[in-house]
């Protein structure tokens, strides 16, 4: 098993260079890995599988081309694209994973997560996360017209950016005690997550905690091969 892990690409119409970098990454990954795990926030926003924005159709087509007779590909919801549904999965050939998700890679226990639920110091965000993950909230939102959903999503992103700009960096990072509680409960050899945009490798109890990076001027990918792993940074031109 030669898996690759990415997160926090935040693809949208506004940044075509990121979408092109993702397409290039998929082409390179066909031979470089056996499994691809996308741990949330593939999209800047996702307002439903019926969104007909052209760039999203291009991304669906690229994913379907990649998964057809290619690496097995898995997706986990992030805080920006938690409404990705089974229609998207069917159209792209991906499998949607629960958060967290446990698997074995090369005789090591690995736990995957987007990671946002560990930012427990940010009580405002955690309350919002709990609300929008409720089935009633999602059903009500998805029952609205596409234009209504686009406007609501735009307003939410504006409010989120304003709120985040006023918060200390430590508040928007994971809470160390929450991390320790989590790894003590699950006891992984490797705990892999994204969300915080702080790529690094940490010790967490007896586990290694690997934080994936967000894509911007640079992209990030975690490669696991045999017993080794590498958190790789690459340029996006």
Identify which of 92, 66, 67, 96 has the alpha carbon closest to the alpha carbon of residue 81.
96
In the numeric block, the tokens 């959903």 are attached to 149
Domain boundaries of the chain, sorted by first residue:
3-235
Q: pLDDT by residue (tens digit) across 20-36?
A: 999 999 999 999 999 99
Q: pLDDT by residue (tens digit) across 149-169?
A: 999 999 988 888 888 788 888
Q: pLDDT by residue (tens digit) across 118-146?
A: 999 999 999 999 999 999 999 999 999 99
Average pLDDT, integer, range 42-49? 97
**Percentage of residues in the chain having pLDDT higher than 70:** 100
> pTM for this one?
0.96
Q: CB atoms < 10 A from the CB of 93, how many?
A: 17
The pLDDT assigned to 162 comes to: 85
CATH match for 3-235 among 3.40.1360.10, 3.60.21.10, 3.40.50.300, 3.30.1950.10: 3.60.21.10
Q: pLDDT by residue (tens digit) across 188-197?
A: 999 999 999 9
203/192 Cα distance (integer angstroms): 12
Q: pLDDT by residue (tens digit) across 200-237?
A: 999 998 899 999 999 999 999 999 988 789 999 999 97
Cα 118 to its chain centre, rounded Å, is 14
**Percentage of residues in the chain having pLDDT higher than 90:** 89
Cα 204 to Cα 34, 82, 183, distances in angstroms: 28, 27, 7
């Amino acid at each position: 098993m030669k898996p690759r892990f990415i997160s926090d690409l935040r693809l949208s119409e506004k940044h075509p260079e990121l979408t092109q970098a993702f397409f290039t990454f998929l082409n390179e990954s066909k031979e470089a890995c056996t499994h691809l795990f996308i741990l949330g926030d593939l999209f800047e926003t996702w307002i439903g599988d019926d969104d007909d924005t052209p760039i999203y159709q291009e991304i669906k087509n690229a994913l379907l081309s990649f998964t057809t007779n290619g690496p097995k590909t898995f997706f986990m919801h992030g805080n920006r694209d938690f409404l990705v549904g089974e229609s998207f999965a069917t159209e792209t050939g991906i499998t949607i994973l629960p958060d967290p998700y446990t698997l074995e890679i090369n005789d090591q226990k690995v736990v995957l997560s987007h990671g946002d639920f560990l930012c427990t110091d940010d009580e405002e965000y955690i309350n919002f996360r709990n609300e929008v993950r409720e089935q009633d909230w999602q059903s009500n939102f998805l029952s609205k017209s596409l234009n209504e959903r686009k406007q609501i999503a735009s307003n939410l992103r504006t409010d989120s950016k304003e709120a985040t700009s006023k918060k200390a960096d430590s508040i928007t990072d994971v809470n160390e005690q929450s991390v320790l509680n989590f790894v003590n409960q699950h006891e992984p050899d490797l705990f892999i997550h994204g969300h915080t945009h702080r790529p690094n490798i940490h010790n967490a109890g007896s586990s290694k905690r690997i934080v994936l990076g967000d894509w911007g001027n640079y992209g990030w990918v975690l490669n696991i091969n045999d017993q080794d792993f590498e958190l790789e940074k690459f340029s996006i031109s």
